[in-house]
Amino acid sequence: MLRFFKYLLIVLVLLIGLGVALFIASVEDEPLVVATSATQVDDADSVKELIEQIKQSVRDRTLDQQIPLTENQLNSLVGFLQRAKAQFHGQANITPLASSLSASYQLPPNPVGRYVNFSALILPGQGLQLDEVRLGSIVLPGKQTLATLVWLADWWTNSTIASQFVQQIDSIRMFQGSMVIAMRPLDAFLRNLKDLKRDIGEETDLSLATAHYLRFLAELDVGQRPTAQSLARFIQPLFAEALSRSNQATAAEENEAAIMALATFAGHHRFASFIGDIQPKPKRVAVPRNMPTLMHRTDLSQHFIFSAAIKVLSEQGLTAAIGEFKELMDRGAGGSGYSFVDLAADHAGVKFALVATDEKTAFALQRLLSENASESSFFPDTSGLPENLNKSEFTKTFKQVDSPEYKRLLDEIDQRISLLPVSRLPPAR
List pLDDT tens digits, range 69-78: 888 888 888 8
Q: What is the DSSP string of 270-309?
A: GGGGGT-S--SSTT-----SS--BBTTBHHHHHHHHHHHH
User: 158: alpha, beta or left, given left = phi > 0 and alpha = psi -120 to 50?
Assistant: left
54: helix, strand or coil: helix
- Region 238-256: mean pLDDT is 93
Domain-located, residue 12 = no
Quick one: pLDDT at residue 336?
A: 62
**Among the three residues 166, 197, 228, which one is the final residue of a domain in this structure?**
197
Quick one: pLDDT at residue 392?
A: 83
- Angstrom distance (rounded) from CA 330 to CA 339: 9
Domain-located, residue 343 = yes
- Angstrom distance (rounded) from CA 312 to CA 255: 10
Whether residue 379 contacts residue 302, with contact meaning beta carbons closer than 8 Å, is answered with no
Helical residues (DSSP H) of 332-380, grouped into ranges: 340-356, 362-370
Band (57; pLDDT cuts 50, 70, 90): confident
**Among the three residues 148, 173, 197, which one is the final residue of a domain in this structure?**
197
Band (413; pLDDT cuts 50, 70, 90): very high
> Are 192 and 218 members of one domain?
no
- Angstrom distance (rounded) from CA 257 to CA 314: 14
Quick one: pLDDT at residue 334?
A: 52
- Angstrom distance (rounded) from CA 190 to CA 54: 13
Give CA torsion, residues 280, 285, 289, 290, to 10 deg: 120
Domain-located, residue 15 = no
Q: Which domain holds residue 67?
A: 26-197
Cβ neighbors of 105 (< 8 A, separation 6 or more) are 87, 88, 89, 115, 116, 118
> Are 225 and 180 members of one domain?
no
> Are 188 and 221 members of one domain?
no
For the purposes of burial, counting CB atoms within 10 Å of the CB of 270, is it exposed (0-12), middle (13-18) or buried (19 or more)?
Answer: exposed
> Are 321 and 355 members of one domain?
yes
Amino acid, single-letter form, for residue 229: Q
Domain-located, residue 16 = no
**In 3-state terms, the chain is what percent helix, strand and coil (to 5)?**
55, 15, 30
Q: What percent of the chain clears pLDDT 90, i.e. is strictly above it? A: 39
Domain-located, residue 1 = no
> Are 305 and 404 members of one domain?
yes
Band (16; pLDDT cuts 50, 70, 90): confident
Domain-located, residue 261 = yes
Domain-located, residue 2 = no
Domain-located, residue 108 = yes
**Among the three residues 169, 197, 225, which one is the final residue of a domain in this structure?**
197
| Residue 368 reports pLDDT greater than 80 | yes
The highest-confidence range among 306-320, 374-388, 393-407, by mean pLDDT, is 374-388
Nearest residue to 198 via CA among 268, 277, 260, 257: 277
> Are 268 and 147 members of one domain?
no
> Are 221 and 310 members of one domain?
yes
- Angstrom distance (rounded) from CA 267 to CA 250: 25
> Are 62 and 118 members of one domain?
yes
Q: Compute φ and ψ for 178, nearest 5 degrees.
A: -160, 165
- Angstrom distance (rounded) from CA 140 to CA 126: 21
> Are 148 and 237 members of one domain?
no
> Are 36 and 95 members of one domain?
yes
Q: Which residue has the higher pLDDT, 425 or 55?
A: 425
| Residue 41 reports pLDDT greater than 80 | no
Q: Compute φ and ψ for 401, nearest 5 degrees.
A: -65, 145
> Are 353 and 413 members of one domain?
yes
pTM above 0.85, yes or no: no
> Are 97 and 217 members of one domain?
no
- Angstrom distance (rounded) from CA 262 to CA 294: 14
Domain count, the chain: 2
